[in-house]
Chain A
Amino acid sequence: MYGETTMMVNEKDINEQIAWAKINTDVLRSMENPRKSYWVAVAVCLAMVATAVLAEYIQYTVGMGVSNLNNPHMWDLYIATFVFWIGMSHSGTLLSAILHLLHADWRKPIYRFAEAMTTFSLLTAGLFPIIHLGRVWNMYWVLPYVSDRGIWPNFRSPLVWDAFAISTYLSASMLFLFIGMIPDLAICRDNTTGWRKKLYTALSLGWEGNDRQWRNFRKIYLLMACFLIPLAVSVHSIVSADFAMSIMPGWHITSFPPYFVAGALYSGCAAIITLFIMLRYFFRFEEYMTLPIMEKLAKLTFAIAMVWTYLNLIEFASVWYGHDMYNKELLIAKATGPYAWIFWSMLFFGSVVPFTLAFRKMRRHMPTMFVVSILLNIGMFFERWMIVAPTLSLSHEPWQWDVMWGSIIEWALVFGSFGWFGLLFLVFVKVFPCVSMYEVKEMVFHRSMSAGERDVLRMTDHAKPAKQTPGVEGA
């Protein structure tokens, strides 16, 4: 028993003896040589995207009627899915920026793909306002530009704020992702040939790893992290304002911004677990995406799940004791009406299933974690659906009451968005290093230093005599 406890305490996030050259080799090899299951995943995503393209084609040619959207359900799954993907984008910010500021270095082997998730989630979310327009050829109307055709952007509308916030978040998160990759792109540049070499040479911007570049790099990474956190909070607060600033029952709720932000972090963390397990398997990253890191991720997810549960209870309690008739009836209808199975599933998946993460054996069992992470995200998708649909079904006036279930076209587009996200992500991890090589080296270096293995560490085991390379002498 004593021995077991010691082993648990001493278990390391990463093997500190790993050679730096091996880190480069493993990551570079992953970009060339994934398991066959990677290609299966790509094929599945392609099929899902094809389904969505077909559905969009039908909706485009026949009209919005095929989606079942109509008064009072002018918003439904499309906007719920939009909110879901915006929420998912918070994963990268959480893992990269917040944990960077907190000096939680266990994030280093896994933050890169979380940042990529942020960018691709936003690109996926951005599709839904366009799909929802119906008239996709007018998609540029969603931008609040000055028009001479009598289109007056309403600056008091949170929808206009959305356009500002999301475009700022998208550009900032892409820059954050790109900046963090520059040293790794230089490694790729030095170790590849053909089109890859050309691509990485262009993207690495001439990085040489000198002290001037590293000093500036350290500063910019910190500054970007500092900006991204309030930005991410503002983005989802503004998305919540799309609902909270209306006077509709179930939407006009003060706690919506923190509720949305907590939900976003929750679904983002759950998705990181899913992708962690997939990448670990596809690219044989067992040495980098280790069980202790998975455990920490699971604990973080559990903590956020409890915050989300607490905010749900706060919302229910404030509605219940607030005695706003419409709000209270809506809450009762959610729990007992036609949407009840979704409502209770949401609570089960979002608040009960996370308790599996409290058990160490579960946290270390990859198949269980994979299933749990999927269930958590189903719960979070239901949450977004339960924010949108019941309010539209049970508004203030009885003549507005109507229960609507999405059509097959609507579901196909929702389904296809997962394929679209998956495809972008899988292409990214094949073309760019999804484990940050230089940060893993830093992690290994600092941990070994703190373990006191040597004053200032030996990075290699070179013991060769000095030699002078005459090749470039006088060149």
Chain B
Amino acid sequence: MSKRRILALFGDFAEAHDAIADIRRNEVPGITVDDITMKSPIEHPEVEEVLGDRPVHIQKFTLFGAIFGLIFGFLFLASAQATFLVQPQGGKAVIPLPANFVLVYEMLIFFAVWMTFLSFLFLSGLFKKRSRLYSEKVSLDQVGLMLEIDDRVAEPLRDLFKKHKVLEIREEVIQ
């Protein structure tokens, strides 16, 4: 059984929602809502309601970055300060804690922000080659639903999309 990728473009969220609702109701056997990738020109306002909860893990990396910045920052500063033992300290501490609190605060944010950014690049699936079905209309004013399906369900799926006033359907055979 060959597989194909199908992209359906809708004029608004409402029609795309309705199509997803039908898929959720099992109107096309063999396809579930988890198979759907929704593409839209703006952040979808109620994406969780439509597609269900799909986890986002960026905040875990942020937390890791923040903790790393906190610990590494202090160790880095303390070790740098310790190498300056020969510097006259005038009786003051070699590792000044109040000053280090300020600096570690900055390091915490620095690493948290960078870790957040890098995790975003990784977790969002960026840097991938764009799908051949990519439509520029998705960045303009249309909503796309993309699925990878078996050939046998292609026709019922097309019919379902047409029922919901699909504007355009694009397809490619992937195996």
Contact = CB atoms under 8 A, between A and B. Distances in A.
Contact of B140 (A21, A208, A463): A21
A149 interface: no
B102 interface: yes
B114 A473 contact: no
B96 A20 contact: no
B140 A24 contact: yes
B96 A156 contact: yes
A216 B77 contact: no
Nearest to A164: B106
Interface string B118-143: 00110111111111111010111111
Contact of A208 (B43, B45, B56, B134): B134
A131 to B, nearest CB: 24
Interface string B137-168: 01111110010000000000010011001111
B164 to A, nearest CB: 9
Contacts of A214: 40, 43-44, 47
Contacts of A455: 14
A454 to B, nearest CB: 7
Contact of B12 (A155, A206, A460): A460
Contact of A211 (B54, B59, B139): B54
A467 B166 CA distance: 8
Contacts of B117: 175, 179, 220, 224
B13 interface: yes
Given A21-B141, A212-B37, A212-B54, A473 B172 contact: yes
A159 to B, nearest CB: 12
Contacts, number: 212
Given A21-B140, A179-B120, A206-B130, A458 B42 contact: no
Nearest to B134: A208
A445 B14 contact: no
Contacts of B142: 459-460, 462
Nearest to B126: A205
Given A24-B140, A152-B84, A211-B39, A467 B168 contact: yes
Given A19-B141, A456-B14, A457-B12, A468 B39 contact: no
B171 A473 contact: yes
Closest 8 CB pairs of A and B: A462-B11, A20-B141, A190-B136, A205-B126, A456-B14, A216-B124, A458-B12, A220-B120
14 contacts: A20-B141, A155-B81, A161-B106, A168-B109, A171-B113, A172-B109, A206-B129, A207-B126, A211-B38, A231-B106, A457-B12, A466-B166, A468-B158, A469-B170
Interface of A: 19-21, 24, 146, 152-153, 155-156, 160-161, 164-165, 167-168, 171-172, 175, 179, 183, 186-187, 190-191, 205-220, 223-224, 227, 230-231, 234, 238, 438, 441-442, 445-446, 449, 454-464, 466-469, 471-475
Given A175-B117, A208-B131, 18 more contacts: A155-B80, A155-B99, A164-B103, A164-B107, A208-B138, A212-B125, A216-B58, A216-B124, A224-B117, A454-B14, A456-B12, A456-B17, A459-B142, A459-B143, A460-B141, A469-B169, A472-B171, A473-B172
